Structure 1
């Protein structure tokens, strides 16, 4: 009886083996190569100035037999950046069956504009001096200033140090009227218009209403900004 059972089991083995699905192996290096090719395409003209190193890669993966396709997608977010995860999709017969991420360390060196000297909060951009300096732009946070005209009518929103990259986020637009600014004040009483001076308590641009302490007055009045340094009383 035992012998008969053994014969039956042996006969069934080829049938069971043939029922198993066929698999194919996708090597890790192949996934990395596809991700690197997409990364190089994203770098574009920066490719020659870039240094790229793999810092994280998936293991070999097994998928069902069939027509294999491996595609990397563009990374999202700020670009370029020091750490980049390249998402990779593995498809069989047109259907995505696995996904993986390849991580790269990236550096891209260019000459960028940096501050020649320390500068205080509120310094007008037109009075600042910039010099070119080599820097890793992938490690920089914020939008670089490449054209001084980007800073027309702007000033520093915080203090900066010599050698720091010039970023658009360092600046703010100069308002038409600023706090503690001396302003021209006009007030209409019927057909009569009076002109005097005062000190703005608030800040804003044309069309905004701010408080202004008119010279000789004890309490501020509301005034609408009509031009740079010019307001009209609305009380």
Structure 2
């Protein structure tokens, strides 16, 4: 074997090792749920945690559409339990999808499995941050499978044109979000349909869409996480 070939093999091995180490690091160090009380069932909400998703169903069965939710990148699914529970308490079923390595980009079609399992009602797809971008991608390729889209501190990636989507679209953003790319957010407006509504939570940030602490690069919020959750839930429930 020639010397340059050996060098190439060594370099390729180093690159592969770096990729593996990075993936392991991302998997091993997600943002975790702080308060687990929101995962407990009571007389109002039945919570079930399975291998692929966490369901929050109102105790009284109804015909309301439900929400399927994609978590943000490197955030554990259960970190969104507070908003899921609050939405369910208002009579709207909520299912949080669990993603491989806590990255929705690795399973943007996860909604397929959930829709097949829970096919008795209509569903709106929602997502936070990277999860929102992947939810938008799913809607782009499956516009007839869901009745709406909710983007929490998120926007469609370039190429995921949703202007022909017939469902309602709701975008919710924290005023003090220090993580989202504001330039790309603005540039993505042309990718959304005309029936898009936008809500800005005054004093809210990126991290308080869940319950996992302050995310790297984010700004401190000027409102409590409970207040931000309540405003998010009000906006989501009002959209049904």
| TM-score bracket for this pair, using the shorter chain length | under 0.3
Give the number of the structure whose residues are more often strand, by fraction: 1
TM score, norm. by length of structure 1: 0.21
Higher helix share: 2
TM-score normalized by the length of structure 2: 0.21
